[in-house]
Structure 1
Amino acid sequence: MDKTAEQPSGRIAIRGSNRVAVPGATKLRGPDPSATIRLSIFARRNPHPSPQVLEKAKALDTQAVATRTYLSNDEFNEVYGASADDLAAIEKFAEIAGLRVIDASIPKRRVLVEGTIASIEKAFGVQLGEFEHPELGRFRGREGQVYVPDDMYSVIAAVEGMDTRPVGRPRRACTHFGANRPAVDAATALTNEWPGTFFPRQIAALYDFPVECTGQGQNIAVFAFNGQDSIDPNTDPRGGYSEAALERYFTKALGGQMPSITPVVVQGPGNAPGPDSPQSSRRGDSTGEVMLDLCVVGALVPDAKIFVYFTEFSSQGWTEAISQAITDENQISVISISYGNPESDPSGRWTDASVKVVNDALQAARSKGITVCVASGDDGSRDDASSGAQADFPASSPWVLAVGGTTLKATAGPMPRIASEVVWNDYDRVPAAGAGGGGISGIFGLPPYQEGIGVPVSVNPPHNIGRGVPDVAAVADPYTGVVVMHVSGQHLEPIGGTSASAPLWASLIVRINQALGTRVGFLNPTLYASCASGVLNDITVGNNGAYAAGVGWDACTGLGTPSGNKLLHALKTAPAPT
C-alpha cells in the first residue's frame, strides 16, 4: 500500500486510528478524487452526564436480574449518547471541510457525512487508494493515522468508512457427508438422514429449554453481513435469505409456522441471497450463515419478532449495525451475532478506535436490558491466526455472552438424552471441520465477574491474564450439528460452527425473558456468581488447541452448555451480584 500521509500542521491523530498495510495487497489505481463516499464520524460520550442518571446506570450491575430497572431513552442518551454541542461541532467541522451532513444521532453518537475523495483526504489528512488482495478481494484502503483539528481531538472518537477492507467472517462449519440430501417433503421433525445430527427443537429438548415459551412478545435481532462498499459493485459478496425456502423449512420440514422476519438495512444491499455454493462461499457469500441463523431462531422462538440487521463486512458496517440495533424503534431484547474477526491479524482489519466504538455500544446495550450473544470462532485457539493464539472480537468483549462449541451425542429411543458432550475439535478428522474458539483476550483485561474462576495466563508472550473466552457453549460440531434448509429450498443440510451455538443461546435467552416477564440483559455477573456450579452442563473433556477443558470454567466451553430450566430457575431466584 501507499506511504502514509504526512501529519498536517495544526492537526492531531485520532487515538487508535492507525491502519497498517495489508500484506500482499496490490494497488490497482489512484482513487477518483471526484468520487463520493459516506463516512461515519463518531463522537465521544456525553462528557457531562447527570450524576443521578449515571449512578442509575452503574447500579444495574448490583441489581438482581429479575428486578432490574433499565434506563429510559432519555436516560440512555444522557449517559451513553453524544452531547448536542459535540454533534454540532462535528457538523460545523464537516461543513467547513466541504462535506454534506446526512444525519446526526445523539444515541448513536454519530454524524453521517458525504463528500468527495478529495475533500475527505484534505479534511482528515489521509491518502486513499484502491487495492486488490487474493483473499480479501477489492477494497478502498488507507495506511497510517486519521487527523483532525486540535479543537476536535477530544470530540471525535473515530471516523469509519474510508477503509473498506472486509472485517469479519461467518462462524459456520459444514460437514463432508457427501451429496446425499433428502427431499424436503420426506423430512419431518422426527426423522433425519444424517445420523447423529439434530433439528433445532431436538437440540432444545436435549438442553431442556422451557417448553411453554415460544418467544411471544419478544424481539430478537439477527446480524447478517454481506457486500462491503466495494470498488467494483459486481464483485460484492452476497448474503441473505429466501422467504420461500424458510417457509418450506418451517411448515414442511418442521411442521410448524412461518415466523415473523423483518429485514433492516443498515448498510449495503440488504437481503441479497447468493447461491451458497462452495465457490460463492469462498468469495464471501454469507447466505448459508444467514439461513442457518434464521432456521435456528425461527424454529426455537417462532412467536418472536425476528429482525435481520443487514450490514457490510467493514469496520463502518460493524459500528453502524451495533449502534442502530441498540437504539432504534424495534425494541430489541436479544442480539445474535455469528460473525467475528481475530483481535489482531496481519491485515489490520480492526483498528483500536473501531474496537472501542463497538465495545462502547456493547456496554451501552446493557443499560437497555439487551443480551448480546456472539460466536467465539471455529478455528480453535488460533482463530485464523498464522501463529500463536487469538481471541475473536466481538466475542472477546467483556459486555457480551461469548458462545463456544461442543460435540454432542444423544441416546437412542423416543426420549433421547445427552449421552456425551465434549469440546468440539475435529482437527484430527480428514477433512477437518474446525474447533470451538476460545482463549485469552489481548485487548481486554480480566473483568470483575471472571475474577477467582481460574482464567489461565495467555499462551502468548508476555503471558498476561485477560478476558477469558467463551462464557458458555452449545453444540457446534457439524457432524453432530443442526439440520437446516439450503437457500434453494430444495434440500436440507447439517451445519455447525459456533454460528449455530450463538443463535441457540440467543433463543434460550428469548424464552427466559418471556418466562420471567422481564429482560435478563447483561447476565454475565449473575451467570458467574450464581450459575457457575450445577446449573449448566460442565464440559470437562477435550481441548481447542492451546487450552484444555476441565472442571468449572475453561477457555474451551466456558461455564458449560445449557440446562434451560435450571438456568431459568437460577436467574429467577438469583440474588444481586456482590
Structure 2
Amino acid sequence: MTPVPRSPYLALPDSDRTPRHGAVVAGPASPSESVTVTVYLRRPPGAPPAPSLLAYAAIPPTLRPAPDDAALAGALHADPADAALVARFAAEHGLRVGAVNPAARSVRLTGTAAQLAEAFQVTLARYRYQDRDGRRRSYRGREGAVHLPAELAGVVTAVLGLDNRPLGGTRLARRTARIPLARLAADDTGLPAGTFLPNALAAPYAYPSGLDGTGQTVAVLAFNGQTQPGVPSGGYRLDALHTYFTEVLHAPVPQITDVLVHGPGNDPGRDDGQGDPNDSTAEIMLDLQVVGALAPGARIVVYFTEFTEQGWVDAINAIVTDTANRPDIVSCSYGNPEDDPGSAWTRMAITSVDQAFAQAGLHNISICCASGDDGSRDQAGDALAHADFPASSPHVLGVGGTRLVVDGATVVSETVWDDGPGSATGGGVSRWFPVPPWQSGTPVPPSANPPHQRGRGVPDVAALADPQTGVMIISVDGEHLVQIGGTSAAAPQWSALLARINQGLGAPVGFLNPLLYAHFGTGVLRDITRGGNGAYAAGPGWDACSGFGSPGGQALLDGLRKLGTTAAQARIPGPATGTEPSGAVI
C-alpha cells in the first residue's frame, strides 16, 4: 500500500506507519473526504539560542525570573519564510491554508483525501479492526512514510492528521459501586468502606491548609470524538457538578471554561460502563471533580480534542501558546505505550509532543501525567514491559498510583497499587528517552526488556489510585455516586496540590523535576516501599512503581520556600542559553 514517491520527494524522518494491531485494509479512503492536517515547522536556523530549560527549572520558583515572552518568541516562533513555503506548497496542490500559529510553529491545511495523498505522496486507505470490547471500528490510515518535496525537507518536522487511528486511552479504573446520591448521609457514612470524597485526601496528604489554589489556572486535557457516529463521545454536565459540589462536598462550584481544539467539544454521554467504551465522560467528570475538590479556588480550563496524534500534538501546543487563559498547570489522565508497534505513536509525534512539553517548562507551566493502569505491561500486545507516554517524557511529572488506607487523617498504610493484570500502576523505563540529567543520580534500574538498556524512569511521584480505596464522584446523571480509581485520579491530585503550592509560594513551580530530584528525594514525600507492578518492585527511595512517593504537601511547600530563602543569599544566575541538554530540540 506504500506508494513510490516521485523525485525530488524525500521521506519525512520518523513518520513511518504500520497498521494498527489486527487492522486490515477495507478499501481506499474516499477521494472526496475532507481532511485537515497540521504541519509543524522547525525552529528557525538563524534564531537566537533557546533558553536552557534545565538551567531555568533549577532556579527556586520564588527567585526564578518570569518568562520573557518577547525573548521566547524570538527563539521559538516559526520563521515567516518557512510558513510561506508551506503556503506555496499548499497552493500548488489546491489545499486551503487554515489556522497559522507562529508560537506553535504550526500551519493547518485542508483538502480532499485525494489532494492530500498526492501532495504528501501517501496512499490513504480505510482500515477495519475489532476493538478490545469486540466492536468493529475503522480509521483512515496510511503505511510507510510521509514524503515532502525537497524544498520542505528539514523545514517541516511533522505532518499529522493523514492517519486518524485512535490514540490515548484513559487511565481510569472503575469499581462496581454505584450508589444513589440520596443514600449518602450527612456524615458520609453512606460511602463504601475505605473510599474517599476527593477533598478528604487533603488531610492525609497534608495539602497546605489555608490555601485553595486561588489565582491559579489548571488545564484539563479532555479527549473524545472516537465513538460511533451519532453516539456521544465524552464531556461533563454542569448541573451534575453543581449538585456534587453544593450538596455533597458543600464547596464552591469551580469556574470552568471550555476550549475547542478538535472534535465535538463538550459532548457528555454515559459514565456507567454501559455505553461506548471510547466515551470519555467518566474520565472528564473525574478530573474536574478531583481538581475542583482539592483546589476549589483554582480556575479550570478544559481543552477538548480528539484521540489522535493530531489531536494530541495540537492540544498540547494550544495549551502552551494560550495567551488568553495562560494555564499554570496541566492535568493529563491519558496515554499509550510509547513503543508498542502498530498501536499508536509515530516517533515524529512523540517528538512533537515532547517539544511542546519543553516549551511549557520555559513558560513556567507544570504538567502532571498519569503513568498507566495496567502495571509494567501498559496494555501492550506483547509480553514486554512498556513505559506509558506522555508520562515517560523527560519534561513532565509522571504520576503513579497507590493503595491508601487511613484512620481519619492518619495514614495507616500506603502501598503500590497492584490488583493484578488490568488494575495496577504503570511505571518502568523508557525506550525512547535516555536518563535525563536531573535523574542521573537516581538508581533507575535497567529496562526489564533485553538488551536491558537504561532510560528515563517513570513515575516521579504517586498518589491514591487503587479503585478499591478510590474516590467517590458524582455520575453525569447527577443522581448517583460512583467509585473510581486509576492514575487518572492520581494525576489531578498532584495538579491540585501544585495549584495550592503555587498560591502559597506566590510563584509557579513550573517544571518541578530538577528541583524534586536534587532536593526533595528524601524526607518530604511519603516513601512507598511495599508492592510492585509486574516487572518492577518498590523499595526505599525512588522506584519505578511510585517514584519518590505520595504527597507530603506542606513539607514540599516548606521545602520550596526554604530553598528560595537559602538561595537568595547566593548569586542566582539568569536562564542560560544554548542547546537544551535533556534531549529536546525545542
Shorter-chain TM range is: over 0.9
For the residues of structure 2 that align with 1:257 and 1:62, how far apart are their CA atoms?
A: 36
* TM-fit CA distance, 1:330: 0.7
- Equivalent residues in 2 for 1:259-270 (5 A)? 259-270=254-265
CA spacing shift, 1:217–1:35, aligned 2, 3 Å: same
Unmatched 5+ stretches in structure 2: 574-586
Q: Does 1:293 align with 2:291?
A: no
For the residues of structure 2 that align with 1:105 and 1:77, how far apart are their CA atoms?
A: 12
- Which of 305, 329, 347 is residue 352 of structure 1 equivalent to? 347
Look up the equivalent residue of 2:168 and give its one-letter code. Answer: G
Q: Which residue of 2 aligns with 1:313?
A: 307
On the 8 A contact 2:176/2:483 being kept in 1, the answer is no
CA spacing shift, 1:217–1:185, aligned 2, 3 Å: farther
Q: Which residue of 1 aligns with 2:194?
A: 196
For the residues of structure 2 that align with 1:193 and 1:96, how far apart are their CA atoms?
A: 63
Q: Which residue of 1 aligns with 2:477?
A: 488
Q: Which residue of 1 aligns with 2:123?
A: 127
For the residues of structure 2 that align with 1:499 and 1:165, how far apart are their CA atoms?
A: 22
- Equivalent residues in 2 for 1:159-308 (5 A)? 159-177=159-177, 181-184=179-182, 186-188=184-186, 190-228=188-226, 233-234=229-230, 238-282=233-277, 284-308=278-302
On the 8 A contact 1:508/1:564 being kept in 2, the answer is yes
Q: Which residue of 1 aligns with 2:8?
A: 10
Q: Does 1:46 align with 2:39?
A: no
Look up the equivalent residue of 1:570 and give its one-letter code. Answer: G
Q: Deviations over 1:145-197 (max 9, x none)?
A: 000011111100000011000011000001134x5x13247344744420001
For the residues of structure 1 that align with 2:56 and 2:542, how far apart are their CA atoms?
A: 24
For the residues of structure 1 that align with 2:273 and 2:55, how far apart are their CA atoms?
A: 49
CA spacing shift, 1:492–1:433, aligned 2, 3 Å: farther
Unmatched 5+ stretches in structure 1: none
Q: Which moved more, 1:380-389 or 1:84-93?
A: 84-93
Q: Which residue of 2 aligns with 1:145?
A: 145
Q: Does 1:450 align with 2:439?
A: yes
On the 8 A contact 2:398/2:459 being kept in 1, the answer is yes
For the residues of structure 2 that align with 1:111 and 1:25, how far apart are their CA atoms?
A: 30
Q: Does 1:404 align with 2:404?
A: no
- Which of 411, 418, 421 is residue 411 of structure 2 equivalent to? 418
Q: Which residue of 2 aligns with 1:72?
A: 68
On the 8 A contact 2:467/2:486 being kept in 1, the answer is yes
CA spacing shift, 1:260–1:86, aligned 2, 3 Å: same
For the residues of structure 1 that align with 2:517 and 2:461, how far apart are their CA atoms?
A: 10
Q: Which residue of 2 aligns with 1:87?
A: 83
For the residues of structure 2 that align with 1:498 and 1:555, how far apart are their CA atoms?
A: 14
Q: Does 1:553 align with 2:551?
A: no
For the residues of structure 2 that align with 1:552 and 1:350, how far apart are their CA atoms?
A: 32
For the residues of structure 2 that align with 1:378 and 1:58, how far apart are their CA atoms?
A: 30
Look up the equivalent residue of 1:31 and give its one-letter code. Answer: A
For the residues of structure 2 that align with 1:305 and 1:121, how far apart are their CA atoms?
A: 42
Look up the equivalent residue of 1:85 and give its one-letter code. Answer: A
CA spacing shift, 1:475–1:36, aligned 2, 3 Å: same
Q: Tell me, what secondary structure is at the counterpart of 1:279?
A: coil
Q: Which moved more, 1:312-321 or 1:28-37?
A: 28-37
Task: State TM-score, norm by structure 2.
Answer: 0.93
For the residues of structure 2 that align with 1:571 and 1:526, how far apart are their CA atoms?
A: 9
For the residues of structure 1 that align with 2:276 and 2:270, how far apart are their CA atoms?
A: 9
Q: Deviations over 1:213-266 (max 9, x none)?
A: 1111111100000014x8x7336x611001111110000011111110111111
Look up the equivalent residue of 1:170 and give its one-letter code. Answer: T
Task: State TM-score, norm by structure 1.
Answer: 0.94
Q: Tell me, what secondary structure is at the counterpart of 1:574?
A: helix
Q: Which residue of 2 aligns with 1:365?
A: 360
- Which of 451, 457, 460 is residue 468 of structure 1 equivalent to? 457
Q: Tell me, what secondary structure is at the counterpart of 1:443?
A: coil
Q: Which moved more, 1:358-367 or 1:28-37?
A: 28-37
**Number of residue equivalences:** 561
On the 8 A contact 2:62/2:561 being kept in 1, the answer is yes
Q: Does 1:331 align with 2:326?
A: yes
On the 8 A contact 1:65/1:523 being kept in 2, the answer is no
- Which of 34, 46, 55 is residue 36 of structure 1 equivalent to? 34
On the 8 A contact 2:400/2:425 being kept in 1, the answer is yes
* TM-fit CA distance, 1:449: 0.9
CA spacing shift, 1:56–1:276, aligned 2, 3 Å: closer
For the residues of structure 2 that align with 1:128 and 1:516, how far apart are their CA atoms?
A: 52
Q: Which residue of 1 aligns with 2:100?
A: 104
Q: Which residue of 1 aligns with 2:527?
A: 538
Look up the equivalent residue of 2:171 and give its one-letter code. Answer: R
Identical amino acids, percent of aligned pairs: 46
* TM-fit CA distance, 1:204: 1.3
CA spacing shift, 1:189–1:85, aligned 2, 3 Å: farther
Look up the equivalent residue of 1:141 and give its one-letter code. Answer: G
For the residues of structure 2 that align with 1:481 and 1:23, how far apart are their CA atoms?
A: 32
For the residues of structure 2 that align with 1:191 and 1:264, how far apart are their CA atoms?
A: 38
Q: Which moved more, 1:250-259 or 1:183-192?
A: 183-192
Look up the equivalent residue of 2:235 and give its one-letter code. Answer: G
